[in-house]
Structure 1
Amino acid sequence: MDETPPKPTASHVTRLRFVFGEKRIVGPGRIDLLEGIGDTGSIAAAGRRMGMSYKRAWTLVEELNTTFDAPLVEMHRGGAGHGGAALTALGLEIVRRYRAMQAASDRAIAGDLEALLTRLAPDAVSPG
């Protein structure tokens, strides 16, 4: 059985990270968390989906909510089954714009990246 790892490809390789200050960061993990909150309606569930503790997910949401001029996530407090979270209009916009920038970046570098990939040593391991 051949256990040779698959050759890296040029698709979806860009990992954009914007640093606006010490804890004012927007990057792939935080965008994934926002998408998870949008999908699940819960900070805890989104964090679990990513293998992240509730405390870590909550901290990242607080940082994201203070990075921009309005919150990205709206929290609904309540007892069991009554709490939850949702993306605000700005949260949805930030996710959409980030994904659009990521796709534009992938398109912009595709040719040069493909050229680099053809020059990888046979035993090169893809970053990950």
Structure 2
Amino acid sequence: MKIRARIWFEDEEGHSLIGAGGARLLSEIDSTGSLKEAAKRAKMSYRYAFKRVDLMNGRLGAVVQMHHGGVEKGGAKLTPLGKEVLAKYRMVEAEVERVLSKRQKS
């Protein structure tokens, strides 16, 4: 038997802030500097990814800074808050995996 768990962060009212998909999206944005490319790598439509980022920015504060087209082209990058949220999510995820792995062996 294998033990599995899903992790997500909620606000005080129970609204989802970030889960596995959001964390993957933030990670890919950090890697690529592009929401379009991040969405593709995370296997999400651009529209869905845009809505997720907009929702996270609205509920958490600015986690992703978007740059619109022009001479320098468009792009996206994590803000310091975005990096902090992603790091906290990854830390909790690793801790849960450690506990589950330990339980799995006993």
Shorter-chain TM range is 0.7 to 0.9
CA distance in 2, matches of 1:88, 1:80: 22
Percent identical: 33
Report 1:86-105 matches (<5 A): 86-105=77-96
Code of the aligned partner of 1:36: E
Structure richer in helix, relative to its length = 2
Count, aligned residues = 105
Taking structure 1 as reference, are residues 60 and 51 closer, same or farther at Cα in structure 2, changes over 3 Å only?
same
Code of the aligned partner of 2:48: R
CA distance in 1, matches of 2:76, 2:84: 16
Deviation (angstroms), 1:26: 1.1
Which has more radius of gyration? 1
Alpha carbon RMSD of aligned pairs, Å?
Answer: 2.3
CA distance in 1, matches of 2:82, 2:21: 14
Q: TM-score, normalization: structure 1?
A: 0.71
SS in 1 for 2:6: coil
**Residue 65 of structure 1 is aligned with which of 57, 67, 86?**
57
CA distance in 1, matches of 2:33, 2:74: 9
Relative contact order, higher structure (CA 8 A, sep 6+): 1
Gaps of 5+ in 2: none
CA distance in 2, matches of 1:102, 1:52: 21
Q: TM-score, normalization: structure 2?
A: 0.84
